[in-house]
Structure 1
Amino acid sequence: MNTRTLATATAVALCLGQTALAQDYTLSLAHWVPGTHPLQTLGIEPWIQSISEASGGRIAIDIFPAQQLGAAADHYDMARDGIADIAFINPGYQPGRFPILAAAELPFLFANATGAVRGLTEWYQNYDDQEMSETYFCMALTHDPGTMHGKSPILVPEDVRGHTVRPANATEARFVNLLGGASVQVPAPAMREALSNGTADITQSPWESLYIFGADSLVTHHLDMPFYASINAFVMNRGMIDGLPEDLRQVMMDHCTPEMAEQMSTGWAGAEAAGRERIAADPAHTMHTPNAEQVAMWQEAAAPLTEEWLALMESQGQDGAAIMQGLRDSLARYDGLYGE
């Protein structure tokens, strides 16, 4: 090999070495909403960019949206099994599997999705090893509080009786049953189909998601109150995290904090809140705003859900009252508790 050839080969090798160093790890992130959803465009994509910058370009993350790697309800197991390195999950799609976190699904807890999600993440970090030890819990995420949207008026609990409802999670499904309705539990991407084929005539959803999932023309009556928050989370494959060098593992840990949870949810929350204004301005839609007496009726109707959850905690040897108080205190600490 002559001197020029050797120099060329060395330059190529150095270039290849720099390329390898620049992107040592390519991770997969799976979620089940469309790639145009504000969760991705306003939350996930900036989060990935921040990780890339903090790692000096050594961590890249490929996004697999819209259930490309598996059904919505399977995303926790996908992270556990390494089908995805990072997964966006709705624990309420697997009833009974995460009973402590299910406390956050109870109605009339969340005033917003910003400070509240920060408080939620901080609170659940005390319990994630009990329920999600097969994965690494990164952070909780949620949307601006959602409500009920129907083909006919919904103003008081009695308006649910006799109707079929697509609930947001298992806790809300139980609430529908307590109200005398029938629950049809399908994930958000199947909302439109359930409404259009008559399987459901009411759906629970945050506001903008009615447009995102194509249900806005199917439900024209809306209960105008912060009814519930559908709890979501990022979980990560433990083998992937444990296999990272210490410095890169720290980069990922720095992006799995209560503060990051608030940052990640802020854009999504704003987009959902804007959907409410969009619907309010549309004469084809009717907003039904309950008065104080009617709000009390909804809260009274929901009270048995808390009693059932407390009884479940007692049956498992947990101090449910202390867990619930801890959640409420954490939400209140960041101005995220409903009614405070």
Structure 2
Amino acid sequence: MATAAIGALLGLFGPAQAQDKVINLKISLWVPPAHPLVPATQAWAADLEKASGGTIKATVFPSEQLGKAFDHYDMARDGIADVTYVNPGYQPGRFPIIAAGQLPFVFGDGKKGTQALDEWYRKYAPVEMKDTKVCFSFIHDPGSLHGKKKIVVPADLSGVKVRPAQSTIAEMVKLMGGTNVQASAPESRDALERGVADEIAFPWGSLFLFGIDKVVKYHIDAPLYTTVFTYNVNLNTYNSMSPAQKKVFDEHCTPEWAAKVSDPWTDFEANGRVKMRSLSGHEVYKLTDDQLAQWKKAVAPLYASWAEAVKKAGGNPEQIEADLQAAIRKHGAGI
């Protein structure tokens, strides 16, 4: 009898229990299966299933199978998928707070930057992305400008057609007299190949993954920008979980898991820079101190427009920026 009572107590207070209803999660990614995020997310899902005693199962759908890259936030909100990979910068002005992480020359390191961003955004995500649950946030290794024309100083972008990585880089291009060409990552090679775009803001390893290395030649070797990402969860899905399942799920939405999921991608992008330097037919070049100073001066207005957008959304840009800078200092993630 005593053994049965102990067993019953363990059943009440264990991780996720056999009596919990089995939940089958649809996880939507818009990157191809070869992208490092896919196996990393599959590993996250497998660990979630194991930790939940098999009551939280998941299937990963890469390559925009469930919807377009631009729609992934709304797909999580509306329950088209249960967990989605979101690039907030694909929707300019919608998420102004997290856009602080995609301003030029903020992060110098992908792994440290992910730790800083995730720690900082946990305070603001419930406000800015309140109609989903944000599991974690991360950045890719710093990307740069790549193209058919050698761009050295901001003035070189005048009249140039650029596919921006996200909304802040689009604003930068406009500021410097260029024209923006909107295309998601999977659509970018085609845009460059057809001459719709001349330049692209992109991380290094992904140039090869998406075949963009075949249509560009010149590459600025500087940490120009990073893009912020979130994994968002449908609220009905999360709220339908038992307390035990929620506990397991929350334990997989931590800074540690943000790193486990994104670190392989960071390594992949960093290795892409090394690979590109060794290829013939490509020119990878560093900026001089004077050229870098010109870039930093040219992008300064972006900080003011970011602050204005945050104010319009009811936020305090000074406090938000101070919090971000504190996280960057703590993790040594700056330039």
Do Structure 1 and Structure 2 share a fold, with TM-score over 0.5?
A: yes
Secondary structure at 1:98's aligned position in 2?
Answer: coil
Aligned length: 318
Partner of 1:282: 279
For 1:168-223, what per-residue CA distance to the aligned partner results, in whole angstroms no more than 9, with x for missing partners? Answer: 01111000011111011211111101101111010010001111111111011000
Partner of 2:131: 134
CA shift, 1:57, in A, is: 2.2
Secondary structure at 2:142's aligned position in 1?
Answer: coil
Task: Give the Cα–Cα distance (whole angstroms) in 1 for the partners of residues 43 and 204 of structure 2.
Answer: 23
Partner of 2:82: 85
Secondary structure at 2:213's aligned position in 1?
Answer: coil
- Aligned partner (choices 262, 267, 277) of residue 265 of structure 1: 262
Contact 1:114–1:263, Cα closer than 8 Å, also in 2: no
User: Which AA in structure 2 matches 1:36?
Assistant: A
What is the aligned-residue identity percentage? 40
Q: Does 1:51 align with 2:48?
A: yes
Secondary structure at 2:66's aligned position in 1?
Answer: coil
Contact 1:150–1:220, Cα closer than 8 Å, also in 2: yes
For 1:41-93, what per-residue CA distance to the aligned partner results, in whole angstroms no more than 9, with x for missing partners? Answer: 2x212211221221122221101111101111111111111110000010111
Contact 1:79–1:135, Cα closer than 8 Å, also in 2: yes
Contact 1:154–1:288, Cα closer than 8 Å, also in 2: no
Contact 2:116–2:327, Cα closer than 8 Å, also in 1: yes
Partner of 2:325: 328
Instruction: Write the mapping of 1:111-190 to structure 2, written as runs, cut at 5 A.
Output: 111-190=108-187
User: Which AA in structure 2 matches 1:29?
Assistant: I
For 1:228-259, what per-residue CA distance to the aligned partner results, in whole angstroms no more than 9, with x for missing partners? Answer: 11111100001111111111111110111122
Task: Give the Cα–Cα distance (whole angstroms) in 1 for the partners of residues 275 and 199 of structure 2.
Answer: 19
Task: Give the Cα–Cα distance (whole angstroms) in 2 for the partners of residues 306 and 211 of structure 1.
Answer: 31
Instruction: Write the mapping of 1:34-73 to structure 2, written as runs, cut at 5 A.
Output: 34-41=32-39, 43-73=40-70
Partner of 1:16: none
Secondary structure at 1:87's aligned position in 2?
Answer: strand
Query: TM-score, length-normalised on structure 2?
Result: 0.92
CA shift, 1:123, in A, is: 0.9
Secondary structure at 2:190's aligned position in 1?
Answer: helix
CA shift, 1:160, in A, is: 1.3
Secondary structure at 2:212's aligned position in 1?
Answer: coil
Q: Which has the larger radius of gyration?
A: 1
Contact 2:106–2:334, Cα closer than 8 Å, also in 1: yes
Task: Give the Cα–Cα distance (whole angstroms) in 1 for the partners of residues 312 and 323 of structure 2.
Answer: 19
Secondary structure at 1:216's aligned position in 2?
Answer: helix
Q: Does 1:32 align with 2:1?
A: no
Task: Give the Cα–Cα distance (whole angstroms) in 2 for the partners of residues 155 and 52 of structure 1.
Answer: 49
Secondary structure at 1:114's aligned position in 2?
Answer: helix
CA shift, 1:311, in A, is: 2.3
- Aligned partner (choices 207, 211, 221) of residue 210 of structure 1: 207
Structure 2: where are the runs of 5+ without partners? Answer: 1-17
Task: Give the Cα–Cα distance (whole angstroms) in 2 for the partners of residues 145 and 131 of structure 1.
Answer: 24
User: Which AA in structure 1 matches 2:22?
Assistant: D
